[in-house]
Structure 1
Amino acid sequence: MRAFAELLDRLSLTSSRNAKLVLLRDYLRAAPDPDRGWALAALTGELSFTAAKPAMIRKAVEARVDPVLFGWSYDYVGDLAETVALIWPGDPNRRANREPELGEVVDALNSAKRGEVQGLIEGWLDALAPKGRWALLKLVTGGLRVGLSARLAKTATALICPENTGGTPGSDGGEGLPRLAPVDVSEIEEVWHALEPPYAELFAWLEGRANRPSGDAPGRFRPVMLSVAIDEAVDFSRLDPADYAAEWKWDGIRVQAVREAGVARLYSRTGDEISGAFPDLMAGLSFEGAIDGELLIWRAEPGGGGVVAPFGDLQQRLNRKTVDAKTMAAYPAAILAYDLLAERGEDLRHLTFEQRRARLEAVVASHGNERLHLSPIVDYPDWETLGRLRADPPVGGAAEGLMLKRRDSTYVGGRPKGPWFKWKRDPHTIDAVMMYAQRGHGKRSSFYSDFTFGVWTEEGALTPVGKAYFGFTDDELKLLDKFVRDNTIDRFGPVRSVRAEPDFGMVLEIAFEGLQRSPRHKSGVAMRFPRISRIRWDKPAREADTLLSVLGLLERMESGGGRVATTIE
């Protein structure tokens, strides 16, 4: 457990991507099985404990520490695991002779009954030093927050074999074993969904002790190909528009729908299976293969075509393990398909985009129901014409921009530079006034970094319209934090109310991707992806936007050139 705790601590304090890769690579090389496998599972989000809850941790610490003192400490630190790790008094009578290993902790939690978990956690907290306690609680609650994505963790895993011999992964290195050689992260992603923690097969392959695990299972996930943001000032001058096909970047969520040998599954772009939330969609798919596309709510229209509903409608279906018939009828899910990765047992990813597109068009044309549609190609002669379409798309708010794909590009997992670009529409902006602030987590736990902002009503009062916690620099964060501390007028637990009047207040320029109606919010609207794009030190609070202007923007999005509900022919 000590090595795992040291790894998490150093990862949390390291901002460099390459440094994080080296830290995890070295840990995976040195740590024994199964500890390193459980660590990898935790870092990739593949490890969770249903019987362990944060409430148990609070109950345990409040039994040993004055609850008021703990509450004050938690308010100041802003992170449950860090607070408990520092304040835990320990019990000399229960101190163990040695610290538990990571594998022991995982095995015990996986086999424990709900009533036994709190006692286990208390015993481990007694046995561990503060850093180990912090790592234990992060592991138990699943909130590692060390700035390491699942793909970056897999990239580090691909580096664990020494790059000192020739050959290719899987080639014979003598005695039937593969020769050691560098492994690309896409190869790990190919077999990832056929593996189970603690990944003994994976490490055996990477270290040359066994052959490559098989990933050829029906219904498996294929690593997705990602795009890079286009640099308008640089890329358009060197790219030929004839080399690229353009498609709309739909405002839904990217999915991979797979139907193979009787196995039907729906995956998110990160490989999480979400089939259970969309049984109506899965029942309506009849192709044989793997399709890459956009999940959205589709409302069919008489005579063909249909309406792509606002993203807010799709949110009614997301993050659910199950869904009832009423919800399915009110929010019918469908896929706008834009790529075909496999068909009837044949892997198509080595084909060019144009070749895959032709196969996809045939599959969708023969499908014959409202659950699968073809994402149309956007015709354009030059970049200037495409730019005008991007600014005022005929599909309105259903698209958040454009995708550009090289016609000769093969389908490669990851984010290769050059084959695919995304060209998003410029974000909407409003000027709002800071109303409330709350401390952040992790490295920001000492700063007020989560800000609720509002706009003026007709009565001259502020009403909240959103919350943002990024978009500013570290230097700007210090200034924002100082403003909050200097102008606090009230406290509500960990939240501070900030002075906000027509003649005094902090004005923030808020950028966001869209608006939707929301009866859950006092203002009646909710923002999509809000972030602070600029601090308006120069602007008086009275000149911030009004709720009336925000509602007017929402109405323009719902109708006319910026409409959200759009007919697709």
Structure 2
Amino acid sequence: MRAFAELLERLAFTGGRNAKLAYLAAYFHATPDPDRGYALAALTGDLSLGRVQPALLREMVAERVDAELFALSYDFVGDLAETIALIWPDPASCEDLSLAEVVGTLTPLSRPQAARQIAQWLDHLAAPARLALLKLATGGLRVGVSARLARLALAQMGAQDGGPSVEEIEELWHGLTPPYTALFGWIEGGPRPAHAALAPFRPVMLSTPVTEEELSKFAPEDYVAEWKWDGIRVQAVSEGGTRRLYSRTGDDISGSFPDLVGAMAFEGALDGELLIRRGDQVAPFADLQKRLGRKTPGQKMMAEAPAALRAYDILTWQGEDLRPLPFTARRARLEQAVAGLGPRLDVSPLVPFADWQALAALRANPPEAVIEGVMLKRPDSAYLAGRPRGPWFKWKREARLVDAVLLYAQRGHGKRSGFYSDFTFALWDGEAPEAPLVPVGKAYSGFTDEDLRRLDRFVRTHTRERFGPVRSLVPELVVEVAFEGLNRSARHKSGVAMRFPRINRIRWDKPAHEADRLQSLLDQLP
């Protein structure tokens, strides 16, 4: 547990991608089986060990620590597991604990039993190991490591010995289970695991963002264009009688969309956009969002929000790997393949254009509100995993902007745990300052480290009330918020939900009463 705790601390306080990769590769190399496999599963979200709920943790710590002291500490730290790890009484002598012992012991226990067992372990661990244990037990590591980054570290670990590439690892990933002993053996020079997943995920090809100025350096005739739809990128694989729907990162989401999976009557792998489509009309992203994460959607939900696939590309077909072919050849095969698959599957149309100015006009005024820009692809491009620069570009519509008032602030996590970095912002529901401020979104990105320090100072000196780790603020500071889309939402008091909001700049110069009105957002709803 000590080594894993040290890894988590380094990852949480390291911003650089290459440094994170180095830490991960070093840990996997130095740690024996099965502990490194369980660590990998925890980092990639494949370790189902979320055995303890926050209420049980609070009950557990209440038996050891004064309630008022804990409340004050939690208010300052802002993270429940970190607060408990820091405030728990230190043992006379510290012991260590293996990840295998934690997994093996907690897995069969009920949640109350698991909480009692964790309390016993905490009595013998140092603070860093206590935090690592609590993060494992609650299933919330939050150290800035994606599943793909962890797999990249595996490939880096075996690179010097001629080990598998990250693409080879990802094609086997869904046929492997923790603690991944065979996988680590393969990486260190052993045989390739024999049991690959049926209908495996293939690493996707990603596009590079591009600006109009950058596009001017390229010849329009060297690219074809198609619409960029506002859904989620998926890979539909149906091979050997097994059907799977994957997210762009390789997560199996088949259970959330059985209506689409049922329509995948083909032998191959398609790349496309998951949408909600009613007839010829694509629904707003908010309709799709209702189904994301639903493991078993009901018949009513599937009838109200039918899932569909708008295909961009074809990876394999009837046993043939088509990825090395040029885009134009794959496109012809794609259109032929999808033609007879029924109404739930179609092909994203190409967008004819004469020059960049003409395409810019189409991009600014697309035929449907759910289109968020255009994709540009070289006709001769093969389907390459990762994000090679040049073959594919994405040219998204300009972000929308609104001036809002900061209303609430919450402490961040990891290296931001000492700062207020998560902000709720609001608009005036009528004429300011008599009208109420209505929250319209949350943002925790878009600002520099210096901005973060200034925002943190503002929060600490302009707090009206405290609610645990959240502070209610004097409504004085205006921020310019950028967002990429807007949907109606019955779950929010404002009636709207923003897509990808971020703080574009801080308007220290602007009085709060000059912030925008809620009606300005409502007028933009599709």
Offset from partner CA, 1:403-459 (integer Å, 9 cap, x none) = 112212222222222221111111111111112222222222222222211111225
The secondary structure found in structure 1 opposite 2:313 is strand
Q: Counterpart amino acid of 2:488?
A: R
1:197-212 mapped onto 2 (5 Å cutoff): 197-208=178-189, 210-212=190-192
Does 2:374 align with 1:406?
no
Mean alpha-carbon deviation: is it higher for 424-433 or for 285-294?
285-294
Q: Which residue of 1 aligns with 2:474?
A: 499
Q: Which residue of 1 aligns with 2:482?
A: 511
Question: C-alpha displacement at 1:56, in angstroms?
Answer: 2.6
1:137-536 mapped onto 2 (5 Å cutoff): 137-161=134-158, 163=160, 180-208=161-189, 210-214=190-194, 217-237=197-217, 239-300=218-279, 306-367=280-341, 369-395=342-368, 397-458=369-430, 460-500=435-475, 505-536=476-507
1:540 to 490, 499, 511: 511
Q: Which residue of 2 aligns with 1:41?
A: 41
Question: C-alpha displacement at 1:162, in angstroms?
Answer: 6.1
Classify 1:521/1:113 alpha carbon distance in 2 versus 1 (closer, same or farther; 3 Å).
closer
The secondary structure found in structure 2 opposite 1:354 is helix
Offset from partner CA, 1:271-302 (integer Å, 9 cap, x none) = 111111212222223222111111111011xx
Offset from partner CA, 1:376-408 (integer Å, 9 cap, x none) = 01111222221221111123x211111112212
Separation in structure 2 between the aligned mates of residue 182 and residue 281 of structure 1, nearest angstrom: 37
The secondary structure found in structure 1 opposite 2:329 is helix
Q: Which residue of 2 aligns with 1:86?
A: 86
Classify 1:29/1:216 alpha carbon distance in 2 versus 1 (closer, same or farther; 3 Å).
closer
2:524 to 550, 553, 556: 553
Q: Counterpart amino acid of 1:108?
A: T
Question: C-alpha displacement at 1:4, in angstroms?
Answer: 1.0
The secondary structure found in structure 2 opposite 1:159 is helix
Separation in structure 2 between the aligned mates of residue 204 and residue 235 of structure 1, nearest angstrom: 46
- Consecutive unaligned residues of structure 2, counting only runs of 5 or more, are none
Q: Counterpart amino acid of 2:300?
A: K
The secondary structure found in structure 2 opposite 1:526 is strand
The number of aligned residues is 523
Separation in structure 2 between the aligned mates of residue 141 and residue 403 of structure 1, nearest angstrom: 40
Q: Which residue of 2 aligns with 1:168?
A: none
Question: C-alpha displacement at 1:115, in angstroms?
Answer: 4.1
Q: Which residue of 1 aligns with 2:108?
A: 111
Classify 1:249/1:215 alpha carbon distance in 2 versus 1 (closer, same or farther; 3 Å).
farther
Mean alpha-carbon deviation: is it higher for 216-225 or for 415-424?
216-225
Question: C-alpha displacement at 1:192, in angstroms?
Answer: 1.3
The secondary structure found in structure 1 opposite 2:386 is coil
Classify 1:225/1:214 alpha carbon distance in 2 versus 1 (closer, same or farther; 3 Å).
farther
Separation in structure 2 between the aligned mates of residue 414 and residue 450 of structure 1, nearest angstrom: 31
Separation in structure 2 between the aligned mates of residue 346 and residue 20 of structure 1, nearest angstrom: 37
CA contact (8 A) 1:437 1:451 kept: yes
CA contact (8 A) 1:37 1:200 kept: yes
Separation in structure 2 between the aligned mates of residue 544 and residue 339 of structure 1, nearest angstrom: 44
Does 2:55 align with 1:75?
no
Q: Counterpart amino acid of 2:468?
A: G
Separation in structure 2 between the aligned mates of residue 382 and residue 542 of structure 1, nearest angstrom: 44
CA contact (8 A) 1:79 1:442 kept: no
Question: C-alpha displacement at 1:493, in angstroms?
Answer: 3.3
Separation in structure 2 between the aligned mates of residue 162 and residue 329 of structure 1, nearest angstrom: 49
Separation in structure 2 between the aligned mates of residue 472 and residue 551 of structure 1, nearest angstrom: 26
The secondary structure found in structure 1 opposite 2:171 is helix
Offset from partner CA, 1:122-159 (integer Å, 9 cap, x none) = 12211210011111111222221222221111111112
The secondary structure found in structure 2 opposite 1:465 is strand
Q: Counterpart amino acid of 2:144?
A: G
Q: Counterpart amino acid of 1:497?
A: S
CA contact (8 A) 2:50 2:137 kept: no
CA contact (8 A) 2:163 2:188 kept: no
Separation in structure 2 between the aligned mates of residue 160 and residue 284 of structure 1, nearest angstrom: 40
Percent of aligned pairs sharing the same letter: 60
Separation in structure 2 between the aligned mates of residue 440 and residue 50 of structure 1, nearest angstrom: 21
Q: Counterpart amino acid of 1:134?
A: L
Q: Counterpart amino acid of 2:399?
A: P
CA contact (8 A) 1:162 1:182 kept: yes
Q: Which residue of 1 aligns with 2:19?
A: 19
Q: Counterpart amino acid of 1:201?
A: A
Separation in structure 2 between the aligned mates of residue 268 and residue 257 of structure 1, nearest angstrom: 9
The secondary structure found in structure 2 opposite 1:548 is helix
The secondary structure found in structure 2 opposite 1:413 is coil
Question: C-alpha displacement at 1:235, in angstroms?
Answer: 4.7
CA contact (8 A) 1:506 1:537 kept: yes
Q: CA RMSD in A?
A: 1.8
Question: C-alpha displacement at 1:23, in angstroms?
Answer: 1.1
The secondary structure found in structure 1 opposite 2:423 is strand
TM-score by length of 2: 0.95
CA contact (8 A) 1:191 1:214 kept: no
Separation in structure 2 between the aligned mates of residue 247 and residue 131 of structure 1, nearest angstrom: 50
Question: C-alpha displacement at 1:310, in angstroms?
Answer: 0.6
Offset from partner CA, 1:544-569 (integer Å, 9 cap, x none) = 11122221122xxx2xxxxxxxxxxx
Question: C-alpha displacement at 1:464, in angstroms?
Answer: 1.4
TM-score by length of 1: 0.88
Q: Counterpart amino acid of 1:312?
A: A
Classify 1:408/1:162 alpha carbon distance in 2 versus 1 (closer, same or farther; 3 Å).
closer
The secondary structure found in structure 2 opposite 1:160 is helix
The secondary structure found in structure 1 opposite 2:519 is helix
Q: Counterpart amino acid of 1:225?
A: M
Q: Counterpart amino acid of 2:472?
A: S
